[in-house]
Amino acid sequence: MNVKAALAICMVFVGCCSNVVFLELVVKEDPGAGNLATFLQFLFIASVGFCTVGKFGTAKRNIPFKQYLLLVGFFWTSSVANNYAFDFNISMPLHMIFRAGSLMANMAMGVWILKKRYTFLKYLAVFMISAGIAICTIQSSGDVKAPRETHEDAAEEEKLKFIDWLWWCLGIAILTFALFVSARMGIFQESLYSKFGKHPWEALYYTHLLPLVFWLPTATNLTRHVAIAFDTPAVDFLGFTFPRQVLWLILYVLTQGLCISAVYVLTTECASLVVTLTVTLRKFVSLIFSIMYFKNPFTVGHWVGTLLVFIGTMIFTELLQKSLALFARKDKKKVQ
């Protein structure tokens, strides 16, 4: 492994793991700020891409504009739905576990749209991932509460708990919808790359630039959460003073850019097996940190579900199979 690949792996862990931390700080400060965080992320990446990839509007596209409009529709819908889910009593660990089920959605879309067939082990992997998500979801359903004061009247409190649970169910539905939209986008992106060639930097730029107009109808929501961000207590950082939520948003956007860039560099320097292993381990580290640092509720059932999701992911990507084969070869050499 060369120095560039090793540095990219380090940046994936540093950038992506810290990005999850800052996103959790953002939504803990203001649960409805997911839409604002997504908008700022798109604006930042589009601005950088306009200077680098777009050459200030002079660069020629490799993929037709109409195709990008379809890709953008999938990407924007998935991104906004995922971040809006935090407004419906969805915890960060459950959010991360749910998004780890993308393989399940990809397989379902592949069977339905592309008429693909898979091996028994891959179907087993998807069953494990689905079971893990279901277990974590059921476990989380018993501890659903919106950030509010407890009501003194018992009957009224039970009514509010039921309302909290209904909002949580809507959040689960939003996450499920986003999962399948993201899977459909992956299939569409695969067909684009096979037809026009791979241009990931260009796709990254246009999928963040074109959706900016979609935020116009949500301008009221954005300005409200900007006002909330500027109204938070001031904190000092590197000799500057920021409203606390503004600082979290800035750090979230910067680490998101670092995360995406590091993953791209890794795909150009390493085999897909190494990339998948790195991303899977990064998700697991982020999950553990979220539980330990933010004191998020996590029961034995959550651990069982999480292990099923990550073991299923490794089986699907053949990481576990290759690892077992490697150990078998080593044992054979020792016997010889």
Q: What integer pLDDT is reported at residue 48 of this predicted model?
A: 92
Q: Which residue has the higher pLDDT, 19 or 283?
A: 19
Q: Which residue has the higher pLDDT, 87 or 42?
A: 42
> By C-alpha distance, which of 277, 90, 69, 300 is closest to 179?
90
How far from 234 is each of 19, 22, 196, CA to CA, in Å? 21, 17, 49
Task: Read off the pLDDT of residues 195-249 as tens digits, 9 standing for 90 and up.
Answer: 888 787 888 889 889 889 888 888 998 999 999 999 999 999 988 899 999 999 9
Q: What integer pLDDT is reported at residue 326 of this predicted model?
A: 57
Q: What integer pLDDT is reported at residue 157 of this predicted model?
A: 66
Q: What integer pLDDT is reported at residue 140 of this predicted model?
A: 63
Query: Residues of the chain with pLDDT > 90: what percent?
Result: 14
Strand partners, 242: 235
Place of tokens 């596209």: 61
Phi, psi of 242 (to 5 degrees): -130, 150
Q: Is residue 32 over pLDDT 60?
A: yes
At 150, the pLDDT band (50, 70, 90 cuts) reads low
Q: What integer pLDDT is reported at residue 327 of this predicted model?
A: 53
Compute the average pLDDT of residues 100-107: 68
Residues in Cβ contact with 271 at an 8 Å cutoff, skipping those fewer than 6 apart:
none
Q: Is residue 11 over pLDDT 70?
A: yes
At 141, the pLDDT band (50, 70, 90 cuts) reads low
At 278, the pLDDT band (50, 70, 90 cuts) reads confident
Determine contact, residues 102/183, Cβ cutoff 8 Å.
yes
Detail the DSSP E strand segments found in the chain: 234-237, 240-243
Q: Is residue 151 over pLDDT 60?
A: no
Task: Read off the pLDDT of residues 308-322 as tens digits, 9 standing for 90 and up.
Answer: 877 877 776 665 556
Task: Please tell me whether residue 303 adopts helix, strand or coil conformation.
Answer: helix
Compute the average pLDDT of residues 315-334: 59
Q: What integer pLDDT is reported at residue 218 of this predicted model?
A: 85
Q: What integer pLDDT is reported at residue 246 of this predicted model?
A: 94
> By C-alpha distance, which of 248, 306, 281, 264 is closest to 21?
248
CA-CA distance, 320 to 323, in Å (whole number)? 5
CA-CA distance, 117 to 90, in Å (whole number)? 34
Bridge-based pairing of strands 234-237 and 240-243 is: antiparallel
The pTM assigned to this predicted structure is 0.69
Q: Which residue has the higher pLDDT, 323 or 260?
A: 260
Compute the average pLDDT of residues 144-165: 66
As a whole number, the mean pLDDT across the chain is 79
Q: Is residue 146 over pLDDT 60?
A: no
Q: Is residue 14 over pLDDT 70?
A: yes
Strand partners, 234: 243
Compute the average pLDDT of residues 273-281: 64
Place of tokens 């509720």: 297
Q: What integer pLDDT is reported at residue 220 of this predicted model?
A: 92
Determine contact, residues 19/234, Cβ cutoff 8 Å.
no
Compute the average pLDDT of residues 292-298: 70
Compute the average pLDDT of residues 175-199: 82
Long-range contacts of 219-223 (CB under 8 A, 24+ apart): 221/32, 221/35, 221/36, 222/35, 222/36, 222/39
- DSSP secondary structure of 185-223: HHHHHHHHHHHH---HHHHHHHHHHGGGGGGGGGHHHHH
Determine contact, residues 310/97, Cβ cutoff 8 Å.
no
Q: What integer pLDDT is reported at residue 280 of this predicted model?
A: 66
